[in-house]
Amino acid sequence: MRDNFPRLGERVMRRLDQLAVDTDEPGKITRLFLSPSHKLAMARVRGFMEAAGLAVEEDDIGNVVGRVESAVPDAPVFILGSHIDSVRDAGRYDGGFGVLSAIEVVEELRRRGEALPFSIEVLAFGDEEGVRFPATLSGSRALAGTFDFESLGAKDENGVSLAEALRDFGCDIDGIGEIARDPRRICGYLESHIEQGPVLEAENLALGVVTAIAGMCRFNVTVEGEAGHAGTVPMQRRKDPLAGSAAMILAVEDVARRTPQVVATVGVIESSPGAINVIPAKVRFSVDLRAPTDQVREQAKSKVEGRLREIAKERELTISFTPLDEAKATPCDPGLMRELSDALARQGHRVFTLPSGAGHDAMAMARLCPVAMLFIRCKGGVSHNPAEAITVEDAQAAIEVMLDFLLHFRPLEHQKLENSRALPESHGSRP
């Protein structure tokens, strides 16, 4: 931490501790999309943005948008940000760090009276994780103009549809289409985020530049058999979907273990009717499958499906697959990567690049504008876990690098209003 630099990292850490209080599960951090704690977190982030001198709005998909105008007329916009929703029993840095560090950077630019040739928007996206509803990245997809309107009908575990939840939250779903940004006006997106992996720590580095974000697909597998009495049906005559699912889950793991760079996770399983003395009738489990390239991921997915169908056939079970969400592998912009690497070097860091196995809002934003990500080391690479941890020194270093990046960034001529990039198509029809 440099002597002549304000200790912004300390305030970010304090604010992240405050944000951690906005939870739907006291004692844990669980902040799902459009939940009461999401509303609390939006109000808290709005307060931080207003204190930093940003003009703040809340849009109709549950994002908080802070904006500071450039003095240059018709200046393009550079977007910073990340997400404020969390997984269940989460850590306190995933997403929130990117939002609060961006607010610190903008406040410091204003404190110094820096006049930049672009306006800045800071986004606190409300739905990156996709834990409550099947879709993910709803907030950033709305900005990119790729929001899937058909996802409005999808329901959460309580049978509440996304459309109902948005209305209950005070959002106007007819306004979602207006959120899309004009790609001709956006000159870039930079997201700072914890690495959620062990690489930077192993390299003894605080920060790294992301090269690409792994693509992912999520789907449910429903296995149906024959319910029966646990005491009377002989083992050889059973069509047990839970025992079958156990074999299938091991097959998912086996395919991923045998396929380089592929990861696959079964995170949720439900069995019905769910009685201790009843052979289950039906089981549903989730699969989250990722790979650095879409081709490898699609090959692995069809291998998994083939293995599961074989097991179902052997055990006389019926099986069906329900796609939930997909996000394509996303390369970061080489030009922004180079600028971010230069900022790291100027700030005295060894330049290190690495891919992201985790998904991020930058995947959606890449459909709108060039994107870059700055990773910050996290202890043991642990994330999606309350043990997630970063240091104040690394938080400070990230803020200094982001500031340096913005002070040196100059939107390419072609990114101003002359840019002829077509507006991205938006998914699906209105409900």
Choose among Mn ion, ligand HGY, none what residue 224 binds, the Cβ cut-off being 5 to 8 Å by kind: none
85 binds ligand HGY (CB under 6 A): no
Pick the piece of the chain touching Mn ion (CB under 5 A) from 40-48, 89-97, 256-264, 288-296.
89-97
Residue 101 beta carbon to ligand HGY: minimum distance, rounded to whole angstroms: 17
Q: Return the structure tokens found at 45.
A: 């982030």
108 binds Mn ion (CB under 5 A): no
Q: Write the CA distances from 294 to 213, 214, 215, 217, integer angstroms.
A: 11, 8, 6, 10
In a 13 Å sphere around the CA of 343, the CA atoms on its Cβ side amount to 26
Pick the piece of the chain touching Mn ion (CB under 5 A) from 49-57, 86-94, 143-151, 401-409.
86-94
Rank residues 118 and 189 by Cβ distance to Mn ion and give the closer one: 189
358 binds ligand HGY (CB under 6 A): yes
Rank residues 265 and 272 by Cβ distance to ligand HGY and give the closer one: 265
Rank residues 289 and 308 by Cβ distance to ligand HGY and give the closer one: 289
Residue 304 beta carbon to ligand HGY: minimum distance, rounded to whole angstroms: 18
95 binds Mn ion (CB under 5 A): yes
**DSSP reduced 3-state for 16:** helix
Which residues share a beta bridge with 265? 288
* Residues sharing a CB contact under 8 Å with residue 307, sequence separation 6 or more, in sequence order: 248, 251, 252, 254, 255
Residue 226 beta carbon to ligand HGY: minimum distance, rounded to whole angstroms: 35
Task: For residue 385, give the amino acid letter.
Answer: N
Task: For residue 295, give the amino acid letter.
Answer: Q
94 binds Mn ion (CB under 5 A): yes
Contact with ligand HGY (CB under 6 A) among 76, 241, 359, 370: 359
Phi/psi of residue 148, each to 5°?
-95, 100
Which residues share a beta bridge with 63? none
Residue 170 beta carbon to ligand HGY: minimum distance, rounded to whole angstroms: 25
388 binds Mn ion (CB under 5 A): no
CB atoms within 10 A of CB 39: 17
Q: End-to-end distance of the chain based on CA atoms, in angstroms?
A: 51
129 binds ligand HGY (CB under 6 A): yes
126 binds Mn ion (CB under 5 A): no
Q: Write the CA distances from 39 to 10, 44, 80, integer angstroms.
A: 25, 9, 21
Rank residues 129 and 240 by Cβ distance to ligand HGY and give the closer one: 129
Strands 207-213 and 330-331: what pairing?
antiparallel
Rank residues 300 and 358 by Cβ distance to ligand HGY and give the closer one: 358
Residue 289 beta carbon to ligand HGY: minimum distance, rounded to whole angstroms: 12
191 binds Mn ion (CB under 5 A): no
Calpha distance 266→288 (Å, rounded): 7
Give buried/exposed letters for 264-284 (b at 16+ CB in 10 A, else e).
bbbeeeebeeeeeeebbbbbb
With contacts defined by CB under 6 A, how many residues of the chain interact with ligand HGY?
4
For 33-181, where are the alpha helices, taking DSSP H only? 36-51, 96-111, 138-144, 162-169
Contact with ligand HGY (CB under 6 A) among 59, 104, 108, 128: 128
Contact residues: Mn ion, CB under 5 A? 94-95
Contact residues: ligand HGY, CB under 6 A? 128-129, 358-359
